Amino acid sequence: MQETLKEIVNAAKEAVAACSDESQIENLRVQYLGKKGQLTALLKQMGSLSAEERPKVGALVNQAKQELEELISAKKQELKIKAQENKLNEETVDITMPAKPVKTGKLHPLNTVLDDMINIFQSMGFDVVDGPEVETDYYNFECLNVPADHPARDMQDTFYLGENLLLRTQTSAAQIRTMETRKPPIRVICPGRVFRADEVDATHSPVFHQIEGLVVDKGVTMCDLKGVLEEFAREIYGSDTKVKFRPSFFPFTEPSVEVDVTCSECGGKGCRVCKGSGWIEILGAGMVHPNVLRSCGIDPDVYSGFAFGIGLDRLTTTRYKISDIRLLFENDKRFLEQF
Amino acid sequence: MKISLNHLKNYVEINVPAEELCERMVMAGFEVESIEKQGDNLVNVVVAKILKITPHENSDHLQICQMDVGANEPVQIVTGAQNIKEGDLVPAALNDSYLPCGVHIVKGKLRGVESNGMLCSGEELCLTEADYEGASVNGILILKDTHPVGTDMREVLGLDDYIIDFKITANRPDCNCFLGVAKEISVVLGTEFKAPKPEYKTAGGNINDYISVEVLNYELCPRYIGRIVKNLRIGQSPVWMQKAIIASGMRPINNIVDITNFVMLETGQPMHAFNYNDLADKEIIVRNARKGESITTLDGKHYDLNEDMLVIADGEKPSCLAGIMGGRESEIEDDTNDLFLESAKFRRDNIRHTGRALGIRTEASGRYERGVDIKNVEYAAERALQLIYELDAGDIIDGCIDCNKGLPEDRIITVSTDKITELIGVEVPDEKIVSILNSLGLETTISGNTITCRVPSIRDDIEGRADLAEEVMRIYGYDHIIGTPMRGTVVRGKLLPERIKANKIKSVLIGAGAYEIATYSFIGSKSIDTLMLSQDDPRRNQIKIINPLGDEYSTMRTQLTTSMLTVLATNINKKIGEGRFFEISKRFIAKSLPITEQPDELATLSLGVYGKDEDFFTLKGIIEAIVKVFGAHIEYERSTEPYLHPGRQALIKANNKEIGTFGEVHPSVSAAYGIENRVYTAEIKLDVLFTIEKRKTTYKPLPKFPAVERDFAMLVDIDTPVGEIEKAISSGAGRLLEKAELFDVYQGEQIPSGKKSVAYSVWLRSQDNTLSDVEIDDISNKIIKKLENIGAELRK
């Protein structure tokens, strides 16, 4: 009987090893281990054995049964994996086939740059405020220390809409409105659209954008101004950017400076972009003129402040190396897609 | 202001190269617009001797010259000039040379004869008599025989000068002249500054015997000085003076006119010389023009004057437009014998007004507009007389008429040095502050740490400590300023709610594939007509720009759609197949016209889409996504925008507020933009949408019980809107309705005419239990009943 057992087990092992299909293996399980299977049949013959032999042979048969069960389930697992592998292989795709498009749009490049600026200044504690585009002469000029017929008015060609009403030529007008409605400490930026009667060409547009910054508090100095602008310049142009002040004149600040940064193209060595100087002029700034503070009801002997005005369009065209400012307003989709 | 560097050296020692001087002046607040080395544009032109002249075989006017140019071999040059002879020294432009006019000379053949350059006239070298005697002769410039052959013409002409164009800021009118710039240079370089000290001899007489001067309006003319010069000897001014005038962009005329111009360039004070003999009644009256008066100015133009304009009149009529331009009648001419010289201060806003009103701007009026110094008026007059004396241009009559109502005291500023350094944030040593201010001509003393500063009237721009701080820093150097990080209370920067809301809308739109555009706030005056609006449509009440750049940019927009249509047209014309665009900007709504107060500037969203996959409903989907941001309930009504397709447009209501319209653009409107495709636009009043406050979001438990789906197919009248069917379903299902989805609309074959087939999937769900068949049947019956009420015929 032990001989028979050995034969059955060997035959089963061979059959399992040769099996290559999940349904076949199930047939084998039934053939050997099922209710009518060969091993089951063997167990049924146990009755014919002697009392001593019965447990011994029983143990052997059970051992063989367990062995075959394990073998079959391992084979089953193996075949399953294999089948899955085959399926996955068949499902291989050409990964260079085009994607199913998710169509998304883009912000206008001016606003992409503006959002970066807002984030920088907001993180430095600047509120972002707004002001009207149609301004009164008072807010656009008078209060900014540019009285009627002041020669500084020649610096900007203004569009007029009516008696004392004009399209603001600078976001500085928002300075005044801010100082009138808020008490120091004041820390705001005012981004917005401004207008000057410049004929349209590659570098001039009658409509452009500025970001005005204003800080008023006790003990504010030019060093604070430089600190803020350095922080800004490093964020925008890179961490090793340097900032230089050059004396200049704006009616609403005193002292007034033009602010240059090291050319991001050549790192300050001098190139075509910076016309060899190593520096690029990016904005005008200065300490708020005492007359301006006074006209907003702020005592210049107690408070001081600084203001700056950044040209967003120029910042945008230099960042993306856009050669013609008119492209910003033409709105060709192939242009807008690039940013 | 353009200045000859060589000329500046008459007033100040300049011990650094021109480029360095410019750099240092920039850092002191004087931007340099250009620096031009004379002779840079004159290359390879040399002194040459004519060895031999032979006629040209094929020409009756060309001559062939063999030229000694200082080389081993003679050079052959063909010329058309006739004023030359063998042995003459002339300027020769050799092969590969450049002339000041920009011409590049290369060798070539003239009627078959080789010519290796060109003989030059004075004109071709851009020379005047001031540069070289004989330069104005019509023909080749014949040089004096003192120059060695082969000498570079730049050396011959003494072209070692630089012309520097300083940009003078509006606060520094005192630097619109040689002396002002020279003074600044002396401070920047720390070298000596010398202003000329006017000295001259008079020829006796008494001015009062010659002229009387009366100022009727001291308001507009705070100071008026007059002098008489007799027996004029009019001729050319000296070369040095002509060169200085030319360098500064003016034209030499004669010694008297040149002196007045030169003194203006030197001192910043405009001067005017009248022909004394043309002054009626020997009177000068400074007064406002009278009604009906007019003047013909030096340039021959005729102007009608009004009573706001200041004139210098003689006993009869205006003789000069004060501060702007002289009259033709009293012009100095070659035969003028005697002159009346004026040096005056006029109020700058009056000059500006008059100049603008008449459209005249001159070197003089520009200076008056920026402001001249009341004390400098006298110095300039003295300087002019000194030059008249030194150049022997006439006999100066004794006596000076000086009309003024008293001269202002110097401004005294007393401030502690701490107050100055406080503003800068940098410690500048007190003695440095004092020495800088003194060097700038602001007499400054210090006691303790308080400085007292006497500001001369010429530095009228200095009013207080901020100005002193600037003066100190621009000389001390802005590189001393070291940036400090933000100090003070830590605050969080906030955005305005409108910006936050607009940003949310932009995110949705970008996610929906739309590109943001930027267009001008002004449009053409006729653009609104393309929208076919009725004549009384309020959007026609547009604000006009008084001084637009052109009609195209003349009108503040009351809507954004015309700009959007232009952008759609641009893209369609460029064969870009599809696009979704949006813009958030302002519409300008006047309170009344013409405007007397600021208009309302209202935030507006404009949308525009086109392409093969776009239609009314894709745009509707975008609009719903936007309104969803605000959690508002959206409804539509038929609308009647004239510029939209009458059957494909709708009014949008969010929480019952009208926020805008959208739809397919009317083909006639599209056609006006050259668009043949179907395009779709929307215009949404964000100012209204933004008033909708989103309700606070609270969590709703996720459903515990399954939903059941039932389909309802029905026939309805062809013009029944599906919105009505949806309402019927909703009212039938009550609060058990989860959603109702339209899945089919069909009309045509197998459907009776005048009817359409509509099919909805309806999901029902209870929060409390699994719906039983009985409950579901009950609700279905209610839905069917409601549907039948609106005339639907359910299909089984």
Q: Give the tens place of pLDDT for each residue, B433-449.
A: 999 999 999 999 999 99
> What six digits make up the tokens of A106?
């883009």
Order of strands, sheet of B411-416, starting from the edge strand that comes earlier in the sequence: B411-416, B450-455, B443-447
- The whole-number average pLDDT for the span A311-318 is 92
- Shortest CA distance to B492 belongs to which of A188, A92, A45? A188
| A293 has a chain B CB within 8 A of its CB | no
Q: Which chain A residues are within 8 Å of B424, Cβ to Cβ?
A: 221-223, 255
| A297 has a chain B CB within 8 A of its CB | no
The string of pLDDT tens digits covering residues B147-160 is: 899 999 988 887 88
Residue B43, Ramachandran bin (φ over 0: left; ψ between -120 and 50: alpha; else beta): beta
User: What is the structure's pLDDT at A163?
Assistant: 83
The string of pLDDT tens digits covering residues B391-401 is: 999 999 999 99
User: What is the structure's pLDDT at B380?
Assistant: 97
- Do the beta carbons of residue B629 and residue B655 sit within 8 Å? no
- Do the beta carbons of residue B101 and residue B89 sit within 8 Å? no
Cα B215 → chain centroid? 38
| A290 has a chain B CB within 8 A of its CB | yes
- Which residue of chain B has the CA closest to A337? B515
- Which residue of chain A has the CA closest to B29? A247
B210 in helix, strand or coil? coil
d(CA B284, CA B330): 12
User: What is the structure's pLDDT at A175?
Assistant: 85
User: What is the structure's pLDDT at B69?
Assistant: 92
User: What is the structure's pLDDT at B147?
Assistant: 87
| B571–A331 C-beta distance less than 8 A | yes
Cβ-proximal residues to A311 (8 Å cutoff; 6+ apart), any chain: A208, A209, A210, A282, A283
Work out the minimum CA distance from B652 to partner chain A, whole angstroms. 24
| A331–B570 C-beta distance less than 8 A | yes
Work out the minimum CA distance from B550 to partner chain A, whole angstroms. 10
d(CA B699, CA B620): 28
Pairing of strands B31-37, B579-589: unpaired
Residue pairs spanning A and B at CB distance below 8 A: 251
- The whole-number average pLDDT for the span A44-55 is 80
| B571–A165 C-beta distance less than 8 A | no
| A329 has a chain B CB within 8 A of its CB | yes
Q: Is residue B7 scored above 70 in pLDDT? A: yes
- Amino acid of residue B385: L
- DSSP string of A5-49? HHHHHHHHHHHHHH--SHHHHHHHHHHHHSTTSHHHHHHHGGGGS
| B485–A251 C-beta distance less than 8 A | no
Work out the minimum CA distance from B623 to partner chain A, whole angstroms. 16
Cβ-proximal residues to B773 (8 Å cutoff; 6+ apart), any chain: none
d(CA A20, CA A39): 23
Work out the minimum CA distance from B567 to partner chain A, whole angstroms. 6
d(CA B191, CA B189): 5
pLDDT band at B328 (very low <50, low <70, confident <90, very high): very high
d(CA B169, CA B180): 13
Q: Which chain B residues are within 8 Å of A132, Cβ to Cβ?
A: 598, 601
- Do the beta carbons of residue B790 and residue B711 sit within 8 Å? no
d(CA A305, CA B44): 57
Helices (H), B753-795: 773-789
Cβ-proximal residues to B638 (8 Å cutoff; 6+ apart), any chain: B649, B650, B651
Helices (H), chain A: 2-18, 22-33, 38-44, 53-90, 109-123, 137-140, 173-181, 222-237, 290-295, 312-320, 327-330, 333-336
- The whole-number average pLDDT for the span A38-42 is 79
The three state secondary structure string of B345-371 is ECCHHHHHHHHHHHCCCCHHHHHHHHC
Residue where the block lists tokens 């721009």 = B461
Work out the minimum CA distance from A96 to partner chain B, whole angstroms. 24
Phi, psi of B596 (to 5 degrees): -120, -10
> What six digits make up the tokens of B346?
């006029």
| B516–A336 C-beta distance less than 8 A | yes
Alpha-carbon distances of A126 from A121, A185, A186, A282, B491, rounded to whole Å: 5, 11, 8, 20, 8
Residue where the block lists tokens 């001159």 = B362
- Which residue of chain B has the CA closest to A119? B493
Comparing B180-194, B255-269, B741-755, which segment has the lowest mean pLDDT? B741-755
Nearest to B423 among A217, A222, A337 (CB): A222
Q: Which chain A residues are within 8 Å of B519, Cβ to Cβ?
A: 329, 331
| B470–A329 C-beta distance less than 8 A | no
Q: Is residue A151 scored above 70 in pLDDT? A: no
- Shortest CA distance to B658 belongs to which of B627, B615, B697, B680? B627
B-facing residues of A in 39-68 (CB < 8 A) are: none
Rounded to the nearest 10 degrees, what angle do helices B465-476 and B417-424 cross at?
70
User: What is the structure's pLDDT at B128?
Assistant: 82
B-facing residues of A in 102-121 (CB < 8 A) are: 103-108, 110-111, 118, 121
Q: Is residue A216 scored above 90 in pLDDT? A: yes
Instruction: Supply the ipTM of this predicted assembly.
Output: 0.86
| B546–A247 C-beta distance less than 8 A | no
Nearest to B467 among A110, A254, A333 (CB): A254
b (16+ CB within 10 A) / e for B217-238? beebbbbbbbbbbeebebeebb
| A125–B466 C-beta distance less than 8 A | no
Q: Which chain A residues are within 8 Å of B516, Cβ to Cβ?
A: 105-108, 111, 336
pLDDT band at B10 (very low <50, low <70, confident <90, very high): very high
| B506–A224 C-beta distance less than 8 A | no
| B520–A329 C-beta distance less than 8 A | yes
Q: What pairs with residue B213 in β-bridges?
A: B284
- The whole-number average pLDDT for the span B280-309 is 94
- Shortest CA distance to B384 belongs to which of B210, B255, B276? B255
The string of pLDDT tens digits covering residues B696-731 is: 889 988 999 999 999 999 999 998 999 999 999 999
| A333–B581 C-beta distance less than 8 A | yes
User: What is the structure's pLDDT at A152?
Assistant: 64
Cα A315 → chain centroid? 19
B202 in helix, strand or coil? coil
Q: Is residue B632 scored above 70 in pLDDT? A: yes
Q: Is residue A154 scored above 70 in pLDDT? A: no
Residue where the block lists tokens 């430089």 = A226
Pairing of strands B515-516, B579-589: parallel
| A193–B521 C-beta distance less than 8 A | yes
| B517–A222 C-beta distance less than 8 A | no
User: What is the structure's pLDDT at B750?
Assistant: 85
Q: Which chain B residues are within 8 Å of A339, Cβ to Cβ?
A: none
| B349–A106 C-beta distance less than 8 A | no
Q: Which chain A residues are within 8 Å of B483, Cβ to Cβ?
A: 223-224, 226-231, 243
The string of pLDDT tens digits covering residues B524-553 is: 999 999 999 999 999 999 999 999 999 999
Phi, psi of B728 (to 5 degrees): -65, -45
Name the percent of chain A lying above pLDDT 70. 98
Q: What pairs with residue B120 in β-bridges?
A: none
User: What is the structure's pLDDT at B635?
Assistant: 93
| B543–A255 C-beta distance less than 8 A | no
- The whole-number average pLDDT for the span A220-232 is 94
User: What is the structure's pLDDT at B499?
Assistant: 95
User: What is the structure's pLDDT at A146?
Assistant: 85
pTM of the model: 0.82
Length of chain B: 796
User: What is the structure's pLDDT at B198?
Assistant: 95
d(CA B399, CA B225): 11
Work out the minimum CA distance from B24 to partner chain A, whole angstroms. 11
H/E segment holding residue B651: strand B644-654
Q: Which chain A residues are within 8 Å of B485, Cβ to Cβ?
A: 227, 231
More confident residue, A38 or B323: B323
pLDDT band at A155 (very low <50, low <70, confident <90, very high): low
User: What is the structure's pLDDT at B160?
Assistant: 81
| B348–A151 C-beta distance less than 8 A | yes
- The whole-number average pLDDT for the span B165-185 is 95
Q: Which chain B residues are within 8 Å of A304, Cβ to Cβ?
A: 422-423
| A151–B371 C-beta distance less than 8 A | yes
Residue where the block lists tokens 């599906």 = B722
| A124–B486 C-beta distance less than 8 A | yes
Cβ-proximal residues to B366 (8 Å cutoff; 6+ apart), any chain: none
| A245–B481 C-beta distance less than 8 A | yes
Is B517 exposed, middle or buried, given 0-12, 13-18 or 19+ CB atoms closer than 10 A?
Answer: buried
Rounded to the nearest 10 degrees, what angle do helices B255-267 and B178-189 cross at?
40
Alpha-carbon distances of B178 from B11, B66, B253, B263, B459, rounded to whole Å: 8, 47, 20, 9, 16
Alpha-carbon distances of B521 from A134, A309, B544, B556, rounded to whole Å: 11, 21, 12, 6
Gyration radius (Cα) of chain A, Å? 42
User: What is the structure's pLDDT at B430?
Assistant: 93
d(CA A3, CA A45): 14
Nearest to A132 among B31, B489, B598 (CB): B598
- Shortest CA distance to A64 belongs to which of A95, A33, A103? A33
Pairing of strands A243-250, A207-217: unpaired
User: What is the structure's pLDDT at A48?
Assistant: 79
> What six digits make up the tokens of B187?
């401070």
Q: Is residue A156 scored above 70 in pLDDT? A: no
Q: What pairs with residue A250 in β-bridges?
A: A253
| B516–A106 C-beta distance less than 8 A | yes
| B545–A160 C-beta distance less than 8 A | yes
B-facing residues of A in 67-86 (CB < 8 A) are: none
- The whole-number average pLDDT for the span B162-177 is 93
User: What is the structure's pLDDT at A338?
Assistant: 95
pLDDT band at B50 (very low <50, low <70, confident <90, very high): very high
